[in-house]
Amino acid sequence: MTQTALITGASSGIGYEMVQLLAAEGYNLILVARNHVKLQEIKASLPNQQVVVIAQDLSLPGASKLVYDKVAELGLTVDVLINNAGFGRVGAFHALTLQEQMQMIQLNIAALTELTYLFLPDIKKRQGMLLNVASTAAFQPGPFMAVYFASKAFVLSLTEALAEELAGTGVHVTALCPGPTHTNFGKVAHAENIKMFARTMDAAVVAKKGWTALKSGKQVMITGAWNRVGAFAAKLLPSIVAVKAVRTVTRVKKEQ
Ligand SMILES: NC(=O)c1ccc[n+]([C@@H]2O[C@H](COP(=O)([O-])OP(=O)(O)OC[C@H]3O[C@@H](n4cnc5c(N)ncnc54)[C@H](OP(=O)(O)O)[C@@H]3O)[C@@H](O)[C@H]2O)c1
């Protein structure tokens, strides 16, 4: 029977590349993001696939339940959940608005947690798969991207814990931890001028590594050799050293 995958943040970047990978493997797809036009274009580009589009701002309270109810109403059952939607913002904590940082928490943490909670019973029944997109930001605090780094630490922690809870059940759970990747993320985060984004990986390569890791049951996938070295170093170094090192690559030149 054809399996169904729900991908959040499907309209661009890593999520878009995930869509291409799963479409190539014949999955029925449920695509979630805000940009309805882009989602419809993606659907139109996949004429051989059963594609359902749900245009939804996941940073709004209650949005995940709306998505879940819509999927149920359509009579669909999710085998694979890819929680990919997320955004960051560069700037000192008080230079950013409270609203945008709360929105980040709502999207990166709350929506991801709610969608996981709501869809996991079906995924368990069907021995399906859960991929949460964290980041190398998860491995240490991130001055000048404080809330973003903290949000990704949450995603990694939650995902590793769930992977252990579900060990032996046949459900695959993976945290994908990309480093800087060439997508809209840099523009949305105003990160184009920071050192951290001087070199980026290709989104298609990152998505492929995440998808392959999920299928093989790998719990954490850090993309790129240097990113793996960085994550390893962050575990070994005293926290204060790691935080100072991050500061050198996240600080905008004229930061307040
Ligand atoms: N690029 C990097 O350097 C990098 C590194 C590590 C981790 N990541 C993580 O990778 C994931 C994907 O990001 P990306 O790099 O592919 O960036 P991207 O190209 O900006 O894609 C973000 C996706 O999330 C969707 N999205 C944003 N806000 C949303 C909202 N409020 N409700 C629903 N959907 C929303 C966007 O679609 P709409 O605008 O249509 O809503 C888009 O499809 C994120 O979780 C990000 O934190 C990225």
Ligand 1 pocket, 178 CB below 6 A? yes
Q: Give the model's pLDDT for residue 253.
A: 57
pLDDT score of 256: 42
The tokens describing 57, both together, are 């701002």
Query: What are the tens digits of pLDDT across the range 225-235?
Result: 999 999 999 98
Do the domain assignments include residue 256?
A: no
Q: Is 16 a catalytic residue?
A: no
Asked if the structure places residue 14 within a domain, the reply is yes
Asked whether residue 57 is domain-assigned, the answer is yes
User: How many Å apart are CA 250 and CA 103, to the nearest integer?
Assistant: 21
d(C-alpha 39, C-alpha 7), whole Å: 11
> By residue range, what is the domain housing residue 155?
4-250
Give me 102's structure tokens: 């709360």
Q: Which atom of ligand 1 is nearest to the CA of 108?
A: 45
Q: How many separate domains does the chain show?
A: 1
In a domain, 175, yes or no: yes
* CA pair distance 224, 111, nearest whole angstrom: 27
**Tens digit of each residue's pLDDT (9 = 90 or more) over 42-75:** 999 999 999 999 999 999 999 999 999 999 999 9
Q: Where are the alpha helices (DSSP H) in the chain?
A: 13-24, 36-44, 63-73, 98-104, 112-125, 146-165, 185-189, 203-216, 225-236, 239-250
68 within a domain of the structure (yes/no):
yes
Which entry of 43, 68, 152, 209 is annotated as an active-site residue?
Answer: 152
Mean pLDDT by 10 residues, the chain (256 residues): 96 98 98 98 96 98 97 98 97 97 98 98 98 97 96 98 98 98 94 85 98 98 95 90 87 58
Cβ atoms of 173 and 163 within 8 Å: the answer is: yes
- pLDDT of res. 246: 87
Atom of ligand 1 nearest to the CA of 197: 3
Is 17 inside a domain boundary?
yes
Known catalytic membership, residue 152: yes
- pLDDT for 191 equals 87
188 C-alpha to ligand 1 centroid (Å): 9
Catalytic residue from among 16, 27, 68, 148: 148
In CATH, what number is assigned to the domain containing residue 22?
A: 3.40.50.720
Residue 255 lies in a domain: no
